[in-house]
Chain A
Amino acid sequence: MTILLEVQGVTKHFGGLQALSKVNFELQKGEILGLIGPNGAGKTTLFNVINGVYPATEGRVIFQGKDVTNAKTYQMAHMGLARTHQIVKPLNELSVRENVNVGACFGRHRYGLGKANQISDETLAFIGLANRADQLAGSLNVAQKKRLEMARALASQPYLILLDEVLAGLNQSEIAEMVEMVCKIRKQGITIIMIEHVMEAVMNVSDRMIVLDFGKQIAEGTPQEIKNNPAVIEAYLGDPELAKKLMRKAAE
């Protein structure tokens, strides 16, 4: 199995605040890696470091064998790394199709507009937004915007997608649809890291999981191992509802 991404001893300071502390893991091609942890644990910060929004204070990020610790976000996009945002960032005044075109035109292959339109049509059909292709992105509802965000990421034909809480704010049926989408994406050969709070969903879909708490990596393993890990449960005790849920599941 090839290793797609290596995160080596990544630490990130913001002034006095230590957001990440010696995070270490490898990502295999074709995996779905779940990234969980209480609020403020540093999950999105980790994405930002991998993705190039800001560089790590210490440590290295290696993507496809290349050191990308100091790479910019657009360089990462050209190398085949795509990402969605926790708070969606649609290009409001552009149409849905134009939004996806941007992904296709500036992603891994940097296609021209003609080919991009073709890819956008395929991607929109896949994601279920084909009938809204000419609508303004700003006029979509939250669930649709999240799907648009994913469509944009997919259109760039990445090797790796970072999904940041794609299930947040969705109802049960929308969650089920989205999870199915994630599985379909993996079937296309794309590797995925998912930040999630919806425990059931992420545990069902992940091959492996990593747990962050206060910037530190407190656990790594299969969903089964993570569920029963006392350190994880303790971290989430700050969230008693969640801890109760986890303990109930462990008992089943």
Chain B
Amino acid sequence: MKLLNNHLGLLIALSVITLLAVWPLVTQKPADREVAFTILRAVALASSLNIILGYTGYVSFGHIVYFGIGGYVGFYLISQQGYSLYTAMLAGGFSAGLIAFLIGKAILRLRGAYFALATIGINQAILAFVANFDLFGGPIGMNINFQLYQDYGGAPKALQLAFYIMVGITFVTVLVSYAVRTSKFGLGLLAIREDEDAAEVMGVVAPNAKTWAYVLSAIFPGIIGTLFFFKNANIQPHDAFPLHTSIELLVMVMLGGYGTVLGPILGAAGYQRMRGLLLTSPFFKDIQLSVAGILLLVIILFIPAGIVGWIRNRFPKTRRVLQ
């Protein structure tokens, strides 16, 4: 019983994901599976971003860059070098983490707005670089020969496999997010977010903590990138580094509540669902970004702590549960 109490927040989070995973199995519709995939992807990406944004307080506007880096490295290994999906995903995650380490060393010294702007610059710069990089297909990108899917039992089976892997990755991401949140490392990150100078005076080695948080937040997007583009059969610069998707991730984290495990999950699921509904309407399809913008504005002005944050503040007893 004590176990249940202590980890109730995590259980709620995992239940939401289980629901998303099981729903398409129940309805047996491939369309539902694809929708669930998209939502799970958003959940995993938002939860990863939350580690550097919500826990550490460093606003990474251009976080999607690691999705793109992992996507490109993994895709290259699969399509041009014939590696398996699993090896490619590991490589994608590793390369994203490595580049995050290097970039982090340079830009985590910047504070506030300058850090945010630098992350936008990174995304745009790497986008420009990749678009010129012939090994990765330059502006045209790369394609997967459909024959390749035979190795996975054919294209339909490959899509199913990708879905199950996505479910697995999402579980892992959420568990990692929870583990960080409830660990000593996580406490250090929260202290940095609240007052970096005071945290250092108390002994938190901020430069190292920030770097590891940044690297950790980049690994899963890297893995997910490989998986996503494997499924997509094609990768192009503008698909791999979509800046506005990056911002939407931010909206998801802010909507649900930064700094909590559950917040990004609810935010991502809710936002993605809303987006899906909007996209079916021809009118809203085009102004989808504007709707996201208005949503973000409303959140900033009126509920800056997000939905989960608002609940925690209003009902302090929920604080232990809604971690």
The interface of chain A, by Cβ under 8 A from chain B, is: 51, 53, 72-74, 77-78, 82-83, 85, 89-95, 98, 101-103, 105-107, 110, 112-113, 116, 134, 152, 156
Contacts and interface: CB of A to CB of B under 8 A. Distances in A.
Indicate the member of B187, B204, B206 with the most A CB atoms within 10 Å: B187
Contacts of A134: 316, 319
Contacts of B203: 74, 77-78, 103, 106-107, 110, 156
Contacts of A77: 200-203
B200 A102 contact: no
Interface of B: 182-184, 187-188, 190-191, 193-195, 197-206, 259, 316, 319
B197 A102 contact: no
Contacts of B198: 85, 89, 91
Nearest to B208: A74
A73 B201 contact: yes
7 contacts: A51-B201, A74-B206, A77-B200, A85-B198, A102-B202, A110-B203, A134-B316
Smallest CB-CB A-B distances: 9 pairs:
A77-B203, A106-B203, A91-B194, A89-B198, A73-B200, A102-B191, A73-B201, A74-B200, A106-B204
A112 B185 CA distance: 10
A58 B183 CA distance: 41
Nearest to B199: A102
Nearest to B182: A113
B305 to A, nearest CB: 9
B202 A94 contact: no
A89 B187 contact: no
Given A85-B198, A93-B194, A101 B204 contact: no
Given A74-B204, A113-B183, A156-B202, A106 B197 contact: no
A106 B202 contact: yes
A52 B191 CA distance: 19
Nearest to B57: A93
Nearest to A113: B184
Contacts of B190: 91, 93-94, 98
Contacts of B316: 134
A89 B202 CA distance: 11
A112 B184 contact: yes
Nearest to A89: B198
A105 B184 contact: yes
B187 A98 contact: yes
Contact of B191 (A72, A91, A112): A91
Nearest to A106: B203
Nearest to A116: B184
B197 A105 contact: no
B6 to A, nearest CB: 12
B194 A106 contact: no
A93 B195 contact: no
A220 B116 CA distance: 49
A78 B190 CA distance: 19
A184 B316 CA distance: 33
Nearest to A105: B184
Nearest to B317: A134
Contacts of B184: 105, 112-113, 116
B212 to A, nearest CB: 15
Indicate the member of B191, B197, B319 with the most A CB atoms within 10 Å: B191
A107 B202 contact: yes
A111 to B, nearest CB: 8
